[in-house]
Chains A and B, each alone.
Chain A
Amino acid sequence: MEGPDTEAEVRLEVNRHVRTLCTSGDAVEVIETLKLLTCYLCDGSNTEFSETLMKEFNRVHYTRILKFLTSNLQADWLQRLNASQHRELWDRFFLSGPPDQAMLVLMDCIGTLSQSSGQDKVVDVLELYLQAGRLAVLLWTRCQGSNSSESPQLREMLLGRLVSLPDITANHLHPHNRPLFLPDHYYPLLAREINCTLEKTCRALRGGQDCSLGFVAQLLGKTCIQGHSKLLFRELAPRLCSSTRSDMVWQRVCWRLMENVPERWMESVVVGLVQAVDGPDALSRIMGNLVVKNKKAQFVVTHKLLLLQYKCESRVLRSLLGYLARDRERRPLLAQVLRALCQAWSSSSAVKHTPLEQQLYLSRCLLLCVGLLDDRELEELRADLRQCMLGGIQCRLDSAVVRIRRIGMVVGECLSSRLDAGGAQLKFEYDHDEETRDLLSMMDPHVSEEAVPSEDTVPADRPANRPAEQKESARSPGRPGSPLSSSAEQDPAGDAGSGSELDSDDELAPYDMSADREMPTAAPPRYLRDCLEALMSSKDAARVELSLRAAEGLVRRNVSAAREVGVELSKVLVHLEDSYCIPDFLALRRGAMVALVVTDTVPVVEFLTTEFYAVNYSLRQRLDVLEVLALSAQELSQPITEQGRPPRGAQPTNAVIPLAQNAPPLHWRQVVEQRIQSKTRRFAKGAASPTVTAAPNRYAPLAGFFFFPLLRNYDRPQVTFDLMGSDHLVLGRLVHTLGLLTHLAVNAPVATQMGKALLDFVWAVRYHSDQVVRQGVLFAVCAVFLTMPAQHLLPELSDLVPETRAWLADMVEGDSDADCRSLAAQALALLERGLRASLEIPAEAPQA
C-alpha cells in the first residue's frame, strides 16, 4: 500500500481542493474541483485511498463540502449542470458520504432555507436519501460500535432529527411537503429500516462480529415517547414476530434491543409493543424476560397497564397476561398481579369511586389471570382469592347500578367455579348480554393462541392484509360449533328439497304473532267490589289475573265506588305479590294504583305516604309507592282543558315517565335523560321561549299532600328500613320523586315552599357516596331551579348561592359518574340563568 508520504500528500490535496471550493468564484474551476473530490466518497468504487484517509476525509472535510454545496444553491455553476452532472456532482455527495452527516446537513438546510428552487433541490435530495435506504446505512454504522467516541450532543441531535423529521419538514415546507415525509409514511419506513438493521446485526453476530444496539434502541425509545409508537410498531411488530419465530439469534437481538431502551423511554416502548403484538407467544419472543430485568418495564406491565389505566383491548390483555404466564421466571409476577388485582377488585371504595369501564377492565384482568394460573398456584392464592371474591361480590351486590351488580355476579361465579371446582359453587341469576359473555370468555385463556399460527401463513411483506386475515382465521377455529349449527340449519331445507315441493312458504312473510296468547277461561269481574274480593282472597290464578287486568278500568269507570273502597284497594294492591307470574304484573298493578290515586286523591295519597315510612314493607314496595305517586302526580297535572282549546305553554308534564317497567333502572335513566333533554331545549331557547301560560290543573292544589308527608320521616331509621343508611336506592328514588313532584307543581303557589324544603333536604345528602343518590339530588336541584319563580329563588338561596355554585362546579369536574357530571353542568347553567333572571326583574320593576 501507499506510504505515509502519499497519505500526507493526498491530505494536502484535499485540503487544497476544499479551500479552492470555498474561495473560488469561477464555475468551471468549482465543477472541476468537485469532480476531483467525488473520488474520495466512500461508495466502494475507489480503493486507491487508505482507510485512515477516508476516515479523515469523512471526519474533517465531508461536512464542509456539503455545507459549501448547500450554501451555493443559487450559484451560477449549479444552474449550469445538466441532469447527469447534477446527479453525479450534487446528489452523489449527499447519498454516498457518511449518512449521519448528510442527514444533519440536509435537515439544517430545510430548517434555514425559505421557499425557493434551492429548497426544492434539498428536499429532492432528502427524498432520494430516504428512498435509497440511507437510513438503514446510518443505523448500521451506528451499530458497528465505531462511533463510541462521538459526543452525546451529536448523538442527541441526530436522534432528534431522525425522529422529528416529519415535524420539521411539515413546519418548513407546509404546502409543499412530500408524501414520504408524512408520519404515515415516514415512521413505517423508519420501522422497515430498523428491521433491516436488526437483520444485518443478526448476520454480523453469526459472523462473530460485535454490534451495539444502543442507538437503534434509543431511536425506538425516542420515536415512541413522541407518540409514534403505533405507526412504528404496526410495521415493526409483525416483522419481529415472524423473524423471531424460529431464530434464536433474532430473539436475542430483540431482547437486547428492548433492554437497551433507555429507562425514560421504556414505558412508551413497552406500551406500544404490547398493543401491537398479537398473542402471548410473540410477545414473549420479542420481550424476553424484560419484565424481570427492568423495574420500569415491570411496573408498566404488572401495574400501570392493569391497575392504573384501562385502555387496552381484551386482545392486548390476553397477550400481556399470557406473556407473564409463559415463562417460569415470570410466573411469580402473575401471582403478584393477581394479588394486586384482587385487592383492587375487592375494595369497596373503588367500586364507588372508579368509573364503571375501569371496573369492567379490572374484572376482565382478574378473570384472565385466574384462567391462566394452574391449580397448584391457585391453591397458594386461595385465601387471597376467597377474600377478594367475598368482599368484592358483597360491595358490588350492594350497588344500585345494574351493570356493577352483574359484573359482581359474573366474576363471583367464575372465581368460585375455579376455586371450588368440585364443591359447592356460587350461582347467580342474571340475564346474559354482550358484557357478561365477554367477561365469561375471559376465563378461557386459549382463544387467542389459535390466532398465532395463522401468522405463519401471512408473508411478512404484506402487512396491510394482516389484521383482516388474522381476524378471520381466528374466528373460524374459535367456534367449533358453527359448522355444526349451520349444517343443522341446512338440514330441514334439504328435507324440503327432497319432497315434491321445491318452493316453501318463505315468500309469505309472517306477521307478528306475539299477541297470540291463551284465552282466559273465566269472565273478568264486573264490579269493583268483586275485583277487590278476588284480589284479596282468591286462590284462583286466572281470576286474580282477570281482576288485576280489570281493576284500572273499573276504578276509572266507577268513580263513586272507587272512592268507597279506595284506601282498602290501595292496601291490597301494595301488598299484592306476583304469585302467579302474571305477565306485565307490575304495569297492571301500577296502572290500577295510579287510577286509584287519581280518582280518590287525598285519602289514598295520605295512605301511601304514611305507608312509605311504615315498617314491614320491602324496598320494592316502597319504590312502587314512590313511582305510583310520581305517575299520578303527573296525570293530575295535565291541564284541565275546555273542549277545543289545546293546552299551551310551559307544562312540565310533557316528558315524564313512559310506562315501561320491566327494567326499573333503565327506565329511571330514561326519565332523567328525557328530563335533561326537555330542559336543554328550554334553556337553549333562553328567555325567548314561548309565552308561559299556566293552565289550571288538578295537581296544583293537592301538591302539598303528595310532597310534605314524604319529607317528614326520612331521618327516623327503623329496623327494616334505614333511608339515610344502607338503603341508598330508595333514597335516590325518593329524592328524584320529590324533585318530580316539585317540578310538576310549577306555577302553583306552593312551589316556592316545596322548593325550599327540598333544597334543605338534599343539602344533607349532596355528597352521598352512591351515584344514584347523587343523580337524584342533582335532578331535584335542577327541578327546583326550574320550578321556583325567579324572584323567589335569589332570596331563598341567598346564603347558599356561592356554596351551591362551588358544589356544582366540583361535581362537574370531579364526579366519577358521567351522568352526574352532565346533570351538574345542567344544574349550574340553570342556576346561572335563574340568578340572571332574578337580577333583571328588579331592574325592570321601576319602569313598569
Chain B
Amino acid sequence: MHYAVGDRHQCCCVLPVMASPPPDPQFVLRGSGAAVNTLHFSCGTSDPPLLFSGSAKGTIHQWNLTTRRPERTLDGHSGASVIWLKTLGSRETLISQGRDSRVCTWDLAEGRSAVTDSIRTGSVGFCQCSLLETGLCSRLLAHPVETMDEVKVIDFPSGTAVCSLKPDARLGMVMCTKLWQPDSGRGPLLLVGYEAGTLALWDVAQRQPLSTLVAHSEPLLCLDFDPERLRGASGSAERAVCSWTLDGQQNLQMAVSVELVNPGISQLSLRADRKLLASAGWDHRVRLFGWKKLKPLAVLQYHTDSVLSVAFSDHADPRLRLMAAGSKDQRISIWSVYNEG
C-alpha cells in the first residue's frame, strides 16, 4: 500500500490541473477491535450525530461523530458477527442482525442498552435482512432462513410470518435482499440476489416472482435500489458494477455496466439524494459513481484491507453529509465528498 500512495503523488505532479487528486478521509474511527461488517448512520434531527458499527466479533459500537469517540458498546450476539444494523424511527430502537441466526431489537432510550426482543431467523449466512415501513407501526422484515435458498417475510416486531418465497429454479443461496414499496399502490415488492448471479423481483402479496434477470456470472453480493427511478445496481465477485431498470411491465432489464480495475464488491450504497453510488471493494478502495450513468467519479484509497461496508449519512443539511466506509482492517473512515449541492 505504501508504494501506491507514493505513485499517486507522482502522478499528481505529472497530470495537468484538470483532475484534482482524490480527497483524504475527513477522520478515521479506530478501536472497533475487529473487522467492521456493517455501518448505520443516525444523524437525523437530534444531536449529536451517531454512527453505529457492527463488528466481526459480535459487538456493536455507537460512535459520536462530534467527539469522534465510541459512546457505548453493545454486545448481544454472543460473539457472532453482526452483519446488519438499523435504527427504528428515532434512534432509541436499534435492530441488529447477527450470524448467531438472531435479529435483536435494542432499547437504547435514556442510557439503557438492553435487548428487548429477539427473533430467530435460522440463517447463519451473510445475507442481510431488509426492513420496510408499511405503516406507522407496521413494518415488514425480509430475512433469509435456514434453508439457504429461501426468503421469509415477517411482520415486525410481532414476528408473524407473512410469506415465504422460494424460487422454482435452483438459484443457490440468497445473498442479498431489498424490500420496497412501489408508488403505484400495489403491495410491497422484494428484490433478491442469488448465488447464481441472478436477480429476482418478487411480489410479496402474490408470493410470485415477477421477473428474473441474470445480472452476473458470479454470486450477486450486494444491491441497492432507487424506487423513484426504478433503477438498481448490483455488485458481485466480478470486475463490474451493473445497473438495471424495471420497466412498466415489472420486467428487469440490464442497463449499464461499469468495468472495475479489481474484482469484488462487498456493498453498494446509494446516497439519499440519488446522485451518488458508492461501492465497497475487496481491493481496499471505495469507488464513487454518478448515479445517473454510473460515471466513475472517484477512487478513495485509505484502507489496507477489504472494505466491507459503505454508508451515507442521513443529515438534514446536505452540506454536512458524510460517507463512512468500514473495513476488515478494523477502521472506519469518514469522508466528505460531493457535498456542495
Contacts and interface: CB of A to CB of B under 8 A. Distances in A.
A541 to B, nearest CB: 16
Contact of B11 (A509, A514, A519, A553): A514
A516 B293 contact: no
Contact of A513 (B13, B290, B298, B341): B298
A194 B141 CA distance: 97
A489 interface: no
Interface in B297-324: 297-299, 301
Contacts of A434: none
A518 B261 contact: yes
Given A505-B290, A515-B11, A584-B7, A510 B261 contact: no
B298 A507 contact: no
A508 B283 CA distance: 24
Main SS of chain A's interface residues?
loop
A775 B206 CA distance: 85
B308 to A, nearest CB: 16
Interface stretch (B17-25, B27-35, B61-69, B71-79): B17-25
Interface string A488-524: 0000000010001101110111111111111100000
A549 interface: yes
A368 to B, nearest CB: 34
Contact of B301 (A507, A515, A549, A584): A515
Nearest to A513: B299
B20 A512 contact: yes
Contacts of B229: 500-501
Contacts of A505: 290-293, 295, 297
A249 to B, nearest CB: 58
A553 B22 contact: no
A510 B297 contact: yes
Interface in B40-74: none
B20 to A, nearest CB: 6
B278 to A, nearest CB: 13
Contacts of B301: 515
Contacts of A510: 19, 295-298
A504 B295 CA distance: 9
A511 B298 contact: yes
Contacts of A512: 11-12, 15, 19-22
Contacts of A660: 13
Given A513-B298, A584-B7, A584-B10, A508 B276 contact: yes
A476 B23 CA distance: 43
A504 B290 CA distance: 8
A540 B82 CA distance: 40
A522 to B, nearest CB: 14
A722 B297 CA distance: 54
B2 A553 contact: yes
Contacts of A500: 229
Nearest to B341: A507
B331 to A, nearest CB: 18
B120 interface: no
B284 interface: yes
A510 B298 CA distance: 6
Contacts of A511: 19-23, 297-299
Contacts of A501: 229, 292
B244 to A, nearest CB: 14
A508 B275 contact: yes
Interface in A317-375: none
Contacts of A516: 261, 285, 299
Given A507-B341, A553-B2, A584-B7, A515 B299 contact: yes
B283 A519 contact: yes
B231 to A, nearest CB: 10
A513 B296 contact: yes
Nearest to B263: A519
Contacts of B293: 496, 504-505
Contacts of B20: 509, 511-512
Contacts of A513: 19, 22, 296, 298-299
B285 to A, nearest CB: 7
Contacts of B207: none
Interface string B264-303: 0000000000011000000111000011110111110100
B318 to A, nearest CB: 13
B295 A515 contact: no
A508 B229 CA distance: 19
B261 A549 contact: no
Most buried by B among A496, A508, A553: A508
A584 B13 CA distance: 14
Interface string A515-543: 11111000000000000000000000000
Contacts of A583: 7
A511 B293 CA distance: 16
Most buried by B among A500, A514, A518, A584: A514
Contact of A515 (B7, B262, B338, B341): B7
Contacts of A515: 4, 7-8, 11, 22, 299, 301
Contacts of B299: 511, 513, 515-516
28 contacts: A503-B292, A504-B292, A504-B295, A505-B291, A507-B341, A508-B276, A508-B295, A508-B297, A508-B338, A509-B19, A510-B19, A510-B296, A510-B297, A510-B298, A511-B20, A511-B21, A511-B23, A511-B297, A511-B299, A512-B20, A513-B19, A513-B296, A514-B8, A515-B22, A515-B301, A516-B285, A517-B7, A519-B262
Interface of A: 496, 500-501, 503-505, 507-519, 549, 553, 583-584, 660
Given A510-B19, A511-B298, 14 more contacts: A505-B291, A508-B338, A511-B23, A511-B297, A511-B299, A512-B12, A513-B22, A515-B8, A515-B11, A515-B301, A517-B4, A518-B261, A519-B284, A584-B7
Shortest 10 CB-CB contacts between residues of A and residues of B: A505-B290, A512-B19, A515-B8, A505-B295, A511-B298, A516-B299, A511-B22, A510-B297, A514-B11, A519-B283
